[in-house]
Amino acid sequence: MRHLMNPLDFSVEELERLFNLADDIEANMDKYAHACQGKKLATCFYEPSTRTRLSFEAAMLNLGGSVIGFSDASSSSVSKGESVSDTIRVISCFADICAMRHHKEGAPMVAASKSSIPVINAGDGGHQHPTQTLTDLLTIRSLKGRLDHFTIGLCGDLKFGRTAHSLVNALVRYEGIRFIFISPRELMIPDYITDMLKEKNIPYEEVIRLDDIMPKLDLLYMTRVQKERFFNEEDYVRLKDFYILDAAKMRLAAPDMLVLHPLPRVNEISVEVDNDPRAAYFKQVQYGVYVRMALILTLLNITVD
């Protein structure tokens, strides 16, 4: 039995198979409409989410399966003091696969160690968000036709943003990737990530201004300032509008640069950018459903001919 805790749990070859499956799902949705008939997905969300939870639920429903779960820890036995280990043991009796989001780093890992069904980490604190990374990779692969040889700018809250951490982790396995980290000093990418890049000899720059580097980018990954992980409101208010990607900034970018964002967006991308053909963040949401469908099938060992 396999779980997904970290994007690196899958080898590059396994990811390739997963993305090929997602491509086939995109092209032949009907073929997969009953693949998970009789199977249940449990979504255990201890932390708020709309997109990720609904994306998992839509994925399972598209496969003909059903969904149970909770989206708010206060409405589950957690509020009575139940541990994650006990919760997953119970859920294992009800469902065939579980997607778990938790505010504590490592909680889905603890659950996986006690689970008799596959557990998917749907985001753990500021740590990892592997299914968002699979979504990001599938989006890049589908829209750019490759996952190697490009310069990617990651902009915004690189300190607390787990989607950025997960994506960098996953991209270092592809050739010719160059990173540009764009953040205010207070929200710089953690040292453990830059140490890893140095160790692997992967080129990166850390800058504060977005304008200067726009022309160099093949991809721009915007992120929101993670309000809920700040210790004080004052710092959040000071930093929340540090970057606003607007039409004027987009004029500095290459004609085929793509803008990605895991969403939810706050102010960091002006709505005027939404109609720019380079804005890929809503397409990204759709790819998220395909890749989660592929992931559910893979972890449940279900093949469709």
Binding site for ligand NCD (CB under 6 A): 49, 51-52, 123, 129, 132, 162-163, 224, 262-264
Least Cβ distance, residue 244 to ligand NCD (angstroms): 16
3-class secondary structure, 265? coil
Least Cβ distance, residue 171 to ligand NCD (angstroms): 17
H helix or E strand, kind and range, residue 163: helix 162-171
User: Given the complex with ligand NCD, which of 62 and 121 has the nearer CB atom?
Assistant: 121
User: Given the complex with ligand NCD, which of 51 and 278 has the nearer CB atom?
Assistant: 51
Q: What does each C-alpha distance from 69 to 77, 91, 193 come to in angstroms?
A: 12, 9, 34
User: Given the complex with ligand NCD, which of 49 and 142 has the nearer CB atom?
Assistant: 49
Burial degree of 275 (CB within 10 A; 0-12, 13-18, 19+): exposed
Distance CA 217, CA 215 (A): 6
Radius of gyration of the CA atoms of the chain, in A: 19
- Amino acid at residue number 2: R
Strands (E), 33-87: 40-45, 66-70
- Name the strands in the sheet holding 177-182, side by side, starting at the edge strand that comes first in the sequence: 204-207, 177-182, 150-155, 219-222, 258-260
Least Cβ distance, residue 163 to ligand NCD (angstroms): 5
User: Given the complex with ligand NCD, which of 65 and 262 has the nearer CB atom?
Assistant: 262
Are 221 and 152 contacting, i.e. CB atoms less than 8 angstroms apart?
Answer: yes
Least Cβ distance, residue 48 to ligand NCD (angstroms): 9
Q: What does each C-alpha distance from 8 to 15, 93, 162, 175 come to in angstroms?
A: 9, 28, 14, 16
User: Given the complex with ligand NCD, which of 248 and 266 has the nearer CB atom?
Assistant: 266
Least Cβ distance, residue 277 to ligand NCD (angstroms): 22
Least Cβ distance, residue 278 to ligand NCD (angstroms): 20
User: Given the complex with ligand NCD, which of 67 and 263 has the nearer CB atom?
Assistant: 263
Q: What does each C-alpha distance from 204 to 36, 150, 161 come to in angstroms?
A: 43, 12, 18
Least Cβ distance, residue 284 to ligand NCD (angstroms): 9
Distance CA 99, CA 88 (A): 11
Distance CA 167, CA 66 (A): 30
User: Given the complex with ligand NCD, which of 51 and 240 has the nearer CB atom?
Assistant: 51
User: Given the complex with ligand NCD, which of 41 and 263 has the nearer CB atom?
Assistant: 263
Q: Which two tokens stand for residue 194?
A: 């830059």
3-class secondary structure, 274? coil
User: Given the complex with ligand NCD, which of 284 and 298 has the nearer CB atom?
Assistant: 284
